[in-house]
Amino acid sequence: MYSKNNRYLIVVIGPTAIGKTALGIEIAKHYNSNIISCDSRQFYREMNIGTAVPSQEELSIIPHHFIQHIGIDTPYSVGDFERDALAKLEDLFQHNPIQVMVGGSGLFVNAIINGLDDFPDIDPNIREDLNKELEEKGLASLQNKLKELDPVHYEKVAIDNPQRVTRALEVCIGTGKPYSSFLNKKANNRNFTPIIIGLEADRELMYQRINKRVDIMIDNGLLKEAEALYPFRKNNALQTVGYRELFTYFDGDCNLDFAIEEIKKNTRRFAKRQMTWFKRTEGAKWFDFTTDPNNIIAEIDKIINQ
């Protein structure tokens, strides 16, 4: 059994379209390790193009876990992921004390590194009232309420995700305290040492990469994929940038060009929120996305061998 001192989880974080998958594969090849995927939308087997799932070629290079392993109608919470991913890591560490995790879902990354935070029980009537408000007044009403009650979490949360916004609001209302005040209170009792590697880019360059990726997704058949998922558009899994905008197009509320521009705009906003979240990650080492992977691996080796 390895001790915490010689078990390492190398965690690659950063905004969408920055190159996390490619770097993660290079690191995993170097250490002959597996990759834990930590992208909460790549969990769903029906969502492929719109979630930028690694290609079959990439998946064949290194064993990946938690890629398209559940269906869109299967409830799968951050708590479920924490339980399953830690169990998988425990198994992987038996064979190799260095493993890799890659992903852009900050809440899920934090759950693996630090554990989930403890929240008090909330009166279920509060959620019922919030769901009613969501249905009658729309998401913007809840977003404005969260901005007022917890401006800190408002800047970090996936603000376009109704479930996340509702969850934060019910805690704010039910406790009289900001949702963010309950975060990061639990001590880290993990039996591994995280090495956190962040990728970043100039904002304008990052936005250009996002716009190009969306165009590639459209060329690769995102419209057809979204059309097949349209009957399930109310599922929480599909409250996702790239699908939601095309559903609006299918509803006849906008034309296709407008929907595509909305995907680009909302993805850029999502990337900005990702960076806001990840930049607060304690101990992360940041590299420009053009950095040679060998140079990053050399820095990781220094940490492991120190």
More confident residue, 185 or 244: 244
CA atoms within 13 A on the CB side of 156: 17
Residues that constitute the known binding site: 14-21
Average pLDDT, the chain: 93
pLDDT given at position 295: 98
Mean pLDDT across 89-115: 94
CATH number of the 4-116+186-305 domain: 3.40.50.300
Residue percentage of the chain with pLDDT more than 70: 97
What CA–CA distance (Å, rounded) separates 63 from 91?
Answer: 14
| pTM of the complete model | 0.83
Task: Write down the number of H helices and E strands in the chain.
Answer: 13, 6
How many Cβ atoms from other residues are within 10 Å of residue 279's Cβ?
Answer: 12
The pLDDT of residue 5 is above 90: no
Intrachain domains 4-116+186-305 and 124-182 with the same fold: no
How many Cβ atoms from other residues are within 10 Å of residue 259's Cβ?
Answer: 21
Q: Nearest-CA neighbor of 114 among 181, 191, 190?
A: 190
Q: What is the gyration radius of the CA atoms in the chain, in angstroms?
A: 20
Which residue type, as a one-letter code, is found at position 299?
E
Domain ranges of the chain: 4-116+186-305, 124-182
How many Cβ atoms from other residues are within 10 Å of residue 234's Cβ?
Answer: 8
Residues that constitute the known binding site for ATP: 14-21
Q: How confident is the model at residue 227 (pLDDT cuts 50, 70, 90)?
A: very high
- DSSP label of 191: S
Mean pLDDT across 146-153: 94
DSSP-assigned beta bridge partners for residue 12: 102, 197
pLDDT given at position 1: 33
> Can you tell me whether residue 35 is helix, strand or coil?
strand
Calculated CA dihedral for residues 115, 120, 125, 130, nearest 10 degrees: -50
Contact between 33 and 59 under an 8 Å Cβ cutoff? The reply is no
Q: Distance of CA 25 to CAs 29, 48, 63, 143, 163, Å?
A: 6, 19, 9, 37, 32
Residues that constitute the known binding site for substrate: 16-21
pLDDT given at position 49: 96
The pLDDT of residue 93 is above 50: yes
The pLDDT of residue 3 is above 60: no
Choices 1.20.1250.20, 1.10.20.140, 2.120.10.30, 1.20.210.10: CATH for 124-182: 1.10.20.140
pLDDT given at position 186: 62
What CA–CA distance (Å, rounded) separates 3 from 11?
Answer: 19
pLDDT given at position 187: 56
Q: How confident is the model at residue 2 (pLDDT cuts 50, 70, 90)?
A: very low
21-43 residue pLDDT tens: 999 999 999 999 999 999 999 99
Mean pLDDT across 43-68: 96
Mean pLDDT across 243-264: 97
Q: Nearest-CA neighbor of 304 among 95, 98, 127, 89?
A: 98
What CA–CA distance (Å, rounded) separates 243 from 233?
Answer: 8
User: Burial of 94 by CB count in 10 Å (0-12 exposed, 13-18 middle, 19+ buried)?
Assistant: exposed
> Can you tell me whether residue 273 is helix, strand or coil?
helix
DSSP-assigned beta bridge partners for residue 288: 200
pLDDT given at position 188: 62
255-276 residue pLDDT tens: 999 999 999 999 999 999 899 8
What CA–CA distance (Å, rounded) separates 163 from 223?
Answer: 25
